[in-house]
Amino acid sequence: MVRQIQVSRRAAEMNYAIREVAVPAAELAKKGRKLCMLNIGDPNKWDFETPSYFKAALRKAVDHTDNGYGDSQGNPEFRDAIVAREKEKHGVTVDKDKVFVTSGVGEAINLLMGALVEQGDEILVPGPGYPSYMQYINFYGGKTVPYRMIEEENWRPDVDMLRKRITDKTKAIIVINPNNPTGAVFSRKDLTEIGNIAAEFELPVVSDEIYDKITEVPFYSMSRLPSDVSRIIFNGFSKVNLMPGWRVGYGYVMDENHMLDQIFEGIMKQCRARICPNVPCQWAAQASLQGPQDYIEDMNRRLKDRAEFSYERLNEIPGISVNKPQGAFYMFPKVELTDWKSDKDFVLDLMNEEGVVFVHGSGFCQEFGQSHFRTITLPRVEILAEAYDKLEKFMIRHKA
Ligand SMILES: Cc1ncc(COP(=O)(O)O)c(C=O)c1O
């Protein structure tokens, strides 16, 4: 027998909840089962189309650029466009040399944690929050320390808990706003308070703003915080800009204190090692920033109807209760676990019995996500209605 090469602890321990439920779902689909996949936040899987002028820009880039490698930090013209866009959106001045382009925000998270985390370091993350953060923190030997999002207060962050959970091992505070999975949009007051805590404890803040244009309430970017707060802002093109498969994202550093000089250089070293982000897709992403923006309004209009319908309908179902989302395209309902030991068992049973696929809440935070599930508000109302009818039948059958 040939010997088995052992996988690293880092890789073995990875499990990204959102795609994890996709494995048993794929098995069912292979057996011919029709499924309603409400587990992935991909607008292009539903009736949101990549605008045709983005596609034209991509074709043009392939036809008219040399298709060779590009700048490791990202196309300079694209970084100029990002700087201009941040100015227009938030009135802030970003240094082009502190912008780095990535293969989606997913890669930005990996690069950041690769530069930041040493064994035993602690990173404060909203609980529940987008699972990639915990995955990469753990991958590099760190510890995710969640701070609670308060369900009873429409999922606003528990700023007191955040403060209490800072230790001498804390390396950074992560904010995900608008939030995946709760759909909460953080208030300016809470963001300012988090910024004040960061400045007081000399910690950097990382703000993931990938859903910044998908909100029903005013959005306050952490790029607008006072200059004594050292920040890294993430944004990307998979959600608002409807090109998730093209894998474009970016980060930028605002750091007058120079607290993050070494971290930025650590990110740059990794950027050079990965050579460069996809060059033609950056041209297409640039076009999406500079052309007509009405597709965003259209998207928000449709999402609003779907979120309102979901809010009303889910709250009618026995054993389910949910807050009204203010942004992004997710909801994080609470479920009474009558027949199930865990929210994951609930999600798997629902998938098997009714063919509706959600993600278990504990996959977004063991401590503050249990007894919940995450769903999306992207499908048309008729599709959502059918899924909620099935969920209702299932809950009644299980005596909620
Ligand atoms: C908060 C958040 N950040 C980052 C990502 C990953 O985005 P990208 O496609 O840019 O890697 C997601 C995707 O769902 C997300 O919800």
Atom 4 of ligand 1, nearest CA residue: 105
Give the tens place of pLDDT for each residue, 99-139: 999 999 999 999 999 999 999 999 999 999 999 999 999 99
Pairing of strands 373-376, 330-331: antiparallel
Residue 249 Cβ < 6 Å to ligand 1? yes
Alpha carbon distance 177, 213 (integer Å): 11
- How many Å lie between the centroid of ligand 1 and the Cα of residue 102? 12
Atom 16 of ligand 1, nearest CA residue: 180
Within 144-254, residue ranges assigned H as helices are 159-164, 188-200
User: Which class for 309: exposed (0-12), middle (13-18), buried (19 or more C-beta within 10 A)?
Assistant: middle
Atom of ligand 1 at shortest distance to CA of 179? Answer: 1
What is the pTM assigned to this prediction? 0.97
Give the tens place of pLDDT for each residue, 206-235: 999 999 999 999 999 999 999 999 999 999
Atom of ligand 1 at shortest distance to CA of 40? Answer: 14
Find the angle CA(293)-CA(295)-CA(299) to the nearest 5 degrees: 130
Residue 236 Cβ < 6 Å to ligand 1? yes
Residue 178 Cβ < 6 Å to ligand 1? no
Return the residue matching tokens 């409400």.
38
- How many Å lie between the centroid of ligand 1 and the Cα of residue 270? 20
Residue 129 Cβ < 6 Å to ligand 1? no
Please state, for a pLDDT cut of 90, what percent of the chain lies above it: 96
150 near 129, Cβ under 8 Å?
A: no
Closest CA to 210 of 187, 242, 188: 242
Identify the pLDDT of residue 400. Answer: 72
- How many Å lie between the centroid of ligand 1 and the Cα of residue 239? 8
Give the tens place of pLDDT for each residue, 257-285: 999 999 999 999 999 999 999 999 999 99
Q: Ligand 1, from 111, 130, 214: best to mutate by most atoms within 8 Å of Cβ?
A: 130
- How many Å lie between the centroid of ligand 1 and the Cα of residue 339? 33
CB-side exposure of 332: number of CA atoms within 13 Å? 30
Identify the pLDDT of residue 204. Answer: 98
- What are φ and ψ of residue 174, in 5° steps? -100, 140
| 210-222 as b/e: b if 16+ CB within 10 A | bbbbbbbeebbbb
Atom of ligand 1 at shortest distance to CA of 107? Answer: 11
Alpha carbon distance 81, 87 (integer Å): 10
Residues 6+ apart with CB under 8 A from 21: 39, 347, 348, 351, 357, 358, 359, 360
Give the tens place of pLDDT for each residue, 226-262: 999 999 999 999 999 999 999 999 999 999 999 999 9
- How many Å lie between the centroid of ligand 1 and the Cα of residue 131? 10
190 near 217, Cβ under 8 Å?
A: no
Average pLDDT over every residue of 332-341: 96
Atom of ligand 1 at shortest distance to CA of 108? Answer: 11
Pairing of strands 373-376, 205-208: unpaired
Identify the pLDDT of residue 17. Answer: 77
Average pLDDT over every residue of 46-52: 96
- How many Å lie between the centroid of ligand 1 and the Cα of residue 245? 12
Average pLDDT over every residue of 320-341: 97
Residue 128 Cβ < 6 Å to ligand 1? no
Residue 150 forms beta bridges with which residues? 156
Residue 208 Cβ < 6 Å to ligand 1? yes
Q: What is the mean pLDDT of the chain?
A: 96
Identify the pLDDT of residue 21. Answer: 87
Average pLDDT over every residue of 179-190: 98
28 near 351, Cβ under 8 Å?
A: yes
Identify each DSSP E strand in 183-310 by its residue range: 205-208, 231-236, 249-254
Neighbours of 359 (CB within 10 A): 31
Residue 319 Cβ < 6 Å to ligand 1? no
- How many Å lie between the centroid of ligand 1 and the Cα of residue 138? 18
| 140-175 as b/e: b if 16+ CB within 10 A | bebbbbbbbbebeebbbbbbebbbebbeeebbbbbb
What one-letter code names the amino acid at 124?
A: L
Q: Is the pLDDT of residue 19 over 80?
A: no
Give the tens place of pLDDT for each residue, 65-91: 989 999 999 999 999 999 999 999 999
- How many Å lie between the centroid of ligand 1 and the Cα of residue 89? 20
- How many Å lie between the centroid of ligand 1 and the Cα of residue 105? 6
Identify the pLDDT of residue 16. Answer: 78
Using CA atoms in the order 184, 187, 190, 191, what is the torsion angle rounded to 10 degrees? 90
Alpha carbon distance 61, 279 (integer Å): 8
DSSP state of 127: E
Closest CA to 220 of 51, 63, 56, 90: 90
- How many Å lie between the centroid of ligand 1 and the Cα of residue 278? 17
Alpha carbon distance 384, 393 (integer Å): 14
Alpha carbon distance 333, 182 (integer Å): 8
